[in-house]
Amino acid sequence: MGAAVCNWCKRLEMPIIVFAYLALIPLLSVNMASEIIIFSIYALSYNLLYGFMGRLSVGPMLFLGAGVYGAAMCCVYLTANPIACIAAGIVCGALLGMLLGPVTVRAAGAAFALVNMAFNQVGFFMIQTGLAGWTGGSDGKSLYFDPIGPLDFNKPNHVFGLALVCLLAAFFLMRRLTESPFGIIIKTIKENERRGNFLGYNIYGTKLLVYVITAAVSAFAGALYAIMFGYVTPSFISPARNIEVIFATLIGGRGNIYGSLLGGAIFILISSYLPNIIQRWELFFGLILLASVFWFSKGIPGIMDLFGPKKQDVNASAKGGLR
């Protein structure tokens, strides 16, 4: 793509995204479209950690759950104002990220993945059993949010509008973040952490900041989930569901913010419609996952490259050597 085409694309990308999601409503339903949008916000945040920084975490549900439960507890015990609840959810996620980040970002690779999963397991356990007196345990709690003026988030259309605005905000944040000099440091951590350290960048601080941003944006998506569904259960923090967002990021293409939108939509569609066709859909989900690791590890953008015009890939040989 030439530079001129790129500039033209960028100016129009926000309207195109809005139009694409509005077009989903007649095809699917308002609720399904909202779910896709919220899941895409979650996938965007995870893509920053895994796609751009190269740190696979098997515990992002912890931060989603922090947002869900932060918003829900705010709604039940403090105020039912939805905006205040979203803020409470984000603050919960960010604080949890700041608390766990100094421990987790010291690890890399497999240790990072599994330490996050361990904390996710602890969080799940605390929500389900430890703090069951407040959170409602495995029964969960149902929520009712007050309307603000003409906006009533108990109506699906209003939730859709809120989710779309939030998605645009998250998308804008991720685009600015990954294209900034800070974003280049993030990619440096993925490619060669030691060299970044040697050049004098604050690698530890960057990793911690990325971890906290991921936590906060995941919690943002979680708070929106709480508003959309109107109830909370421990399934929103269950470590068994971590694979969903990993799948979305892998299939959409790692390190590609459009990929998160695509992967998020694909996952929600698969998980909603495949069970209607095949009862054992998790089996097929596992097979798709296995196939995408072995043959399409670059996700859908990689598949499209196969059919598109041949590009000169300067980095291909270098990347193969660095593994």
Partner 1 sequence: MISVIAYGLTLGGILYIISIGFSFTFGTMKIVNYAHALIFTIGGYILYATLPRIGFYPAAVLAATLGVIPIAFIIERFVIRNLYGESVDLTIIATYAVFLIGLDVLKWIWGSNPLQMSDPINKTFTFLGTELPVYRMAVIVIALALAILIEIFLQRSMAGKIVIAGLEDKETVRGLGISVQRYFTMVFIIGSALAALGGVLYAPITVVEPYMGFQILMLSFAVVIVGGLGNWRGTFVAAFFLGMVMSVTGRWWGPASEVAVFAILAVSLLIHPIDI
Binding residues for partner 1, per CB under 8 A? 50, 54, 56, 58, 103, 106-111, 113-115, 117-119, 121-122, 125-126, 129-130, 239-240, 243, 246, 250, 280, 282-283, 285-287, 289-290, 293-294, 297, 323
Tell me the two tokens of residue 41. Answer: 């916000």
Measured from the CB atom, is 35 or 244 closer to partner 1? 244
The length of the chain in residues reads 323
CA distance 122 to 107: 18
Contact of 43 with 248, CB cutoff 8 Å = yes
Looking at the DSSP assignment, which residues form a beta bridge with residue 232?
141
Pair of tokens at residue 147:
């309307």
d(CA 224, CA 299): 27
Minimum gap (Å) between residue 54 Cβ and partner 1: 7
Strand-pair partners of 231:
142
CB of 276 to partner 1, least distance (A): 16
Distance in Å, CB of 195 to partner 1, minimum: 15
Q: Rounded to an integer, what distance in angstroms lies between the CA atom of residue 254 and that of residue 260?
A: 8
DSSP string spanning 5-65?
A: HHHHHHHHHHHHHHHHHHHHHHHS-HHHHHHHHHHHHHHHHHHIIIIIT----S-THHHHH
Give least dist CB 279 to partner 1, A: 9
Closer to partner 1 by Cβ: residue 130 or 302? 130
Identify which of 130, 136, 118 has the alpha carbon closest to the alpha carbon of residue 69: 136
| CB of 240 vs partner 1, minimal distance in Å | 7
Q: Which CB, 127 or 143, lies closer to partner 1?
A: 127
Smallest distance, Å, CB 107 to partner 1? 6
Number of C-beta neighbours around residue 173 at 10 A: 16
Which is closer to partner 1, CB of 114 or CB of 269?
114
- Of 30 and 303, nearer to partner 1 (C-beta) is 303
Is 217:89 a contact under the CB 8 Å cutoff?
no
| Nearer residue to partner 1 within complex by CB, 175 or 241 | 241
293-318 burial, b at 16+ Cβ within 10 Å, e below that, comes to: eeebebbbbeeeeeeeeeeeeeeeee
Closer residue to partner 1 (CB): 310 or 323: 323
Shortest distance, CB of residue 116 to partner 1, whole angstroms?
A: 11
Please tell me what DSSP assigns to residue 127. I
* Minimal distance, residue 323 CB to partner 1, in Å: 6
Q: What is the C-alpha to C-alpha distance for residues 37 and 262, in angstroms, rounded to an integer?
A: 10
Q: Which is nearer to partner 1, 168 or 243 (CB)?
A: 243
